[in-house]
Structure 1
Amino acid sequence: MSLPIQHHPENQEFTVSQDGHSAELSYSLPTEGVIDFTHTFVEEELRGQGIGDELAKASLAYARENNLKVRTTCSFMAGYVAQHPDYQDLVEGS
């Protein structure tokens, strides 16, 4: 699946819209060099389609490209990162 995920740095979020519905992954930049993924929300009509995973991939690619360490306050993102060993090097403290 390849969705048109948008990054809105001014709002500190990644978003996607499909069929009039939306999903978002919010983040903060608590300290220099760290991105904290704080909240993921997918409208009910879009759930079960892997959209949360696509948001996770895009946001983690952004972290990697910008040499940011990752903090996962969001439980969805914590679970996603834990299930994908290829992102472990991004985790803050690693």
Structure 2
Amino acid sequence: MSSLVEDNPAERRFEILVDDALAGFTAYEARGEVLVFTRTEVDPRFQGKGVGTALVRGTLDQVRERGGAVVPRCRFMSAFIDRHPEYAALVVDEP
């Protein structure tokens, strides 16, 4: 199973494709360089397979590469960051 995480600015979300199928997304509101993440959804066919984790990890890696920051209003993303403190430096207060 190959997966790819990419930003879809037109939809204001990062999407994960698994074998070319949309498997999930994490939606955001852009406030300059800060992305406020509001929800994460994974298609039921892909739940329990690590797709949500791969999505959030790929999203945060891309935000870090761009020099951006995040406000994890979404519970899934917030819990991921709590479990992976290497991403804590990306978190800022809501602008």
What TM-score, normalized by structure 2, do the two folds share?
0.84
Q: Which residue in the other structure is 2:13 paired with?
A: 13
Write the mapping of 1:1-94 to structure 2, written as runs, cut at 5 A: 2-18=2-18, 22-29=23-30, 31-93=31-93
What whole-Å deviation, never above 9, does each CA across 1:19-42 have from its counterpart, x for those lacking one? 65621111111x322111111001
Identity among equivalent positions (%) equals 29
Gaps of 5+ in 2: none
Gaps of 5+ in 1: none
More strand by share: 2
Structural RMSD (CA): 1.9
- Assess if the C-alpha contact under 8 Å between 1:21 and 1:46 holds in 2: no
Q: 1:21 to 1:68 in 2, by over 3 A?
A: closer
Aligned length: 92
- Assess if the C-alpha contact under 8 Å between 1:22 and 1:42 holds in 2: yes
What whole-Å deviation, never above 9, does each CA across 1:18-75 have from its counterpart, x for those lacking one? 365621111111x322111111001111100000011101110121011112100100
